[in-house]
Structure 1
Amino acid sequence: MPPDELPPGPSLFATFDFIRNPFRFLDTCASRYGDWFTVRVPGVAPFVFTSDPAAVREIFLGDPDALHAGEANRPLGAFMGERSSLFLDGSEHLRQRRLLLPAFHGEQVASHADAMRNAADNAIASWPRGQRFRIHPQMRAITFETIIRAVFGFENDSTGAELRASLKKLFALYTSRLGTLFSLPAMQIDAGRWSPWGRAVRLTRQIDSILYAEFARRRKEGVEGRADILSMLLSARYEDGQPLPDNVIRDEMYTLMLAGHETTAATMAWVINRLVTNPEVMERARAEVFSALNGRLLDASHVGKLKYLEAAINETMRLDPVVPNIGRGLKKPMTIAGVQLPSGVTIAPCIYLVHRRRELWPNPAQFNPDRFLESRQSPYTFFPFGGGSRRCLGAAFATYQMKIVIAEILSRVELKKVDGYEPHAIRRGIAFAPSDGLPVNCD
């Protein structure tokens, strides 16, 4: 099928709405074109979106040598580096993924419970009582601190302080309106230290210098007894006994910083939005938290008891996915769910639209966490973390952190909706977050 015979789709002008209001854009496309539509962006291969669950299943179970996720993800990684597992394909991806998996094992994730709770407590203590404030920046502060401690293993020493300062500047640039355009090659021009890309290049050089020095220090001193993810990667070995090269570890750390930090923060902001707009759900979740804690400090032993809170998080990710689609670059012509597609296009299973199909989700626009208590969901109809061999490595880490942070919020403060505020999704870095930072009232 030649490119002009791809499924119909919006004009280039209409496609700009994907940046301004992505959920509205996707709803409009689904209403106008149905289960399949093509989105074209200058300089990149056409994206063929699909919300057909049969297509999602075929893609997740398909040949990874013919369906390149790494290639499709490449526009997301302006700063993450070529050696990130996010951008690798085939055997190379699987080889690196196997080395990363132990860092995200259940017991390993649980070892970070105290760091996650402390980051939440420190932020909550600073919130203004009886006043309105924006919750999304607070969620970003919490996930940022968790990354510094649980992922990097830095404390409040001079190296940690230097890394914090540089990362905060990079995050601010990455999540700005200009940062959303850094995936376009035309924006990746270093026109000096005051240009947007020039600032980004110089910040990454500063961060690289800190990281490489820390890699060398830990390799020399040893990492025995350390539970942070960086130390685990430094001690990991390929099948032939060789360690991960420093540039590979560097790229994986940037992926955790930029992708993991922003997506988790945005999801928690959406969860807060759903709770404050559904007080009965909030109170049920709060009661579960108090019952689980029974007057004690939240720790790893309580997290598994928060079933309803986890259901509320899942229902939020169904309705408000922070990454609305995934992608696979076709390396050969393929027929997927009866639709013929040529080599070179990117097939894009649409998380947002599949999560709102009426035949899959009764009353799909209704926020109802009980859906996730009543039955187990199919990985082809609920996939906020992607699926198949490319399912997000950090899914368990992110979900665990969200349960701890939201539980701490519910146990310590009462948040309320701001009258007249109705959020819409806007892009912040790799994630789609609530507009205006999601203002809330705090008591």
Structure 2
Amino acid sequence: MPHSALPAGPGLIATFDFVRNPFRFLDACARRYGDWFTVRVPGVSPFVFTSDPAAVREVFLGDPDALHAGEANRPLGAFMGERSSLFLDGAEHLRQRRLLLPAFHGERMASHADAMRTAADNAIASWPTGRQFAIHPQMRAITFETIIRTVFGFADDESGTELRALMKKLFALYSSRLGTLLSLPAMRIDAGPWSPWGRAVRLTRQIDSILYAEFARRRKEGLEGRADVLSMLLAARYEDGQPLPDNVIRDEMYTLMLAGHETTAATMAWIINRLLTNPDVMERARAEVFSILRDQQLDSSHVGKLKYVEAVINETMRLDPVIPNFGRTLKRPLKIAGGDLPAGVTIAPCIYLVHRRPELWPNPNQFNPNRFLESRPSPYTFLPFGGGARRCLGAAFATYQMKIVIAEILSRVELKPVDGYVARATRRGIAFAPSEGLPVIATGAAVS
């Protein structure tokens, strides 16, 4: 990397391709510029992309007071709220993260297995047989219902039904092209209920009314026996014994819904795409599921045994990361991997390109789940959930759900690809998913 100036990079027109076809854009930049390149967007500080594993390690282990992830994530805050841990830095972030971690501990996942399986089964039962349908929206339906039940803890009563309807409307706006534009502060103008930002403001007010009423109701009635994430946050206390303020809990719930819902759904769509285009892998994964279930209903006791299914998930996240990079804004000049970067720029370790380095991943473009059965990769070379003190809080939750959903699909239905379809990455909210919703055809019940 040059020491006297920022690395070279594409011009503004070429940068627009990052939205249209992000993987093609990143491949082209890597070929032309190497391990480091700068992406400039008007009105935003430069993004210095890197695929150098040494730089990734230094960023993950670097001083969080100098490398602000929350500030780099700030454009996502339009819908999620400023008090989310996603947008905090330094001691404030660590304080809040400590309270959130227990809600996503591995042992907690077992209590959610039945809800995850039921959401998958209900969706699968609705799939048409013998005709084409888009599977990505089905994955979104599964993750949405799972979060409503296991994270929010809402049932099918009146408030739960209303919350579902409002959240779906908000998510439709958030994941649209308008939602992408609303990440720019200049676009957040409330010009009435028919303006994009005006719609978002009114939807969030309605959702907030339901959530704050629910917070009060649960505190009054007690939280005993509840395993959902919202109830755990209502019960959590800071070191001084004070509870999390309602606005903080509200912002975390929005983040878990909007960020966690779409990233997991998009990843599962990519997994289906990889299984369809690698039928030998699909058959091996299906054989594992049948051998573990032995005609039993899938439950928490089976999830840890799905080793090959988990390897398929990991290999898909290696090749098709739904978030291709993450960012840290430099609060002071830093030397990273031997090069000097000035304060104010955002260093963006590129998940997509690190996962394709041939010296780290032999035959990097080959889909080979065995990589994850034969060895455990370094956290600086396999980073679908980010890393360091900012690693995604919901990583264990997402992986647990994906194993259940993919196992249910493999055990219950036969899928085949649509002739002529080739997936490319398209943006949905903060995630990149397969184009056209990934069209597939269900041909009937799965057989062992």
Common fold, TM-score beyond 0.5?
A: yes
Q: Which residue of structure 1 lines up, in the alignment, with residue 389 of structure 2? A: 389
Instruction: Please give the per-residue CA displacement for 1:245-282, whole angstroms capped at 9, x wherever unaligned.
Output: 00000000000000000000000000000000000000
Is 1:361 matched up with 2:330?
Answer: no
Q: Which residue of structure 2 lines up, in the alignment, with residue 7 of structure 1? A: 7
Q: Which residue of structure 2 lines up, in the alignment, with residue 179 of structure 1? A: 179
Quote the offset at 1:5 in angstroms.
Answer: 2.3
Contact 1:326 1:348 in 2 (8 A): yes
Q: Which residue of structure 1 lines up, in the alignment, with residue 446 of structure 2? A: none
Contact 2:176 2:428 in 1 (8 A): yes
CA distance in 2, matches of 1:277, 1:87: 38
Matched residue type, 2:416: K
Contact 2:4 2:340 in 1 (8 A): no
Instruction: Please give the per-residue CA displacement for 1:116-161, whole angstroms capped at 9, x wherever unaligned.
Output: 0000000000000111100000000000000110001111000000
Q: Which residue of structure 2 lines up, in the alignment, with residue 196 of structure 1? A: 196
Q: Which residue of structure 1 lines up, in the alignment, with residue 98 of structure 2? A: 98
CA distance in 1, matches of 2:180, 2:310: 30
Quote the offset at 1:67 in angstroms.
Answer: 0.5
Runs of 4 or more, structure 1, over 6 Å off, are: 1-4
Instruction: Please give the per-residue CA displacement for 1:345-400, whole angstroms capped at 9, x wherever unaligned.
Output: 00000000000011111111100000000011000000000000000000000000
Matched residue type, 1:434: P
Change (3 A) 1:105 1:79: same
1:248-263 equivalent positions in 2, closer than 5 A: 248-263=248-263
Contact 1:167 1:207 in 2 (8 A): yes
Q: Which residue of structure 1 lines up, in the alignment, with residue 274 of structure 2? A: 274
Contact 1:311 1:370 in 2 (8 A): yes
Unaligned residue ranges in structure 2 (runs of 5+): 444-448
Unaligned residue ranges in structure 1 (runs of 5+): none
Is 1:58 matched up with 2:58?
Answer: yes
Contact 2:267 2:321 in 1 (8 A): yes
Quote the offset at 1:77 in angstroms.
Answer: 2.1
TM-score, with structure 1 as normaliser: 0.99
CA distance in 1, matches of 2:253, 2:223: 17
Q: Which residue of structure 2 lines up, in the alignment, with residue 307 of structure 1? A: 307
Q: Which residue of structure 2 lines up, in the alignment, with residue 399 of structure 1? A: 399
1:4-403 equivalent positions in 2, closer than 5 A: 5-403=5-403
CA distance in 2, matches of 1:2, 1:91: 33
CA distance in 1, matches of 2:441, 2:234: 44
CA distance in 2, matches of 1:321, 1:362: 18
Instruction: Please give the per-residue CA displacement for 1:225-257, whole angstroms capped at 9, x wherever unaligned.
Output: 000000000000000000000000000000000
Quote the offset at 1:2 in angstroms.
Answer: 12
CA distance in 1, matches of 2:337, 2:2: 18
SS, match of residue 379 in structure 1: coil
CA distance in 2, matches of 1:88, 1:290: 44
Q: Which residue of structure 1 lines up, in the alignment, with residue 425 of structure 2? A: 425
Identical pairs, percent: 84
SS, match of residue 112 in structure 1: helix
Quote the offset at 1:177 in angstroms.
Answer: 1.6
SS, match of residue 133 in structure 1: strand
Instruction: Please give the per-residue CA displacement for 1:171-224, whole angstroms capped at 9, x wherever unaligned.
Output: 111111211222112221111111111111111111111101100111111111
CA distance in 1, matches of 2:48, 2:399: 29
Contact 1:148 1:164 in 2 (8 A): yes
TM-score, with structure 2 as normaliser: 0.98
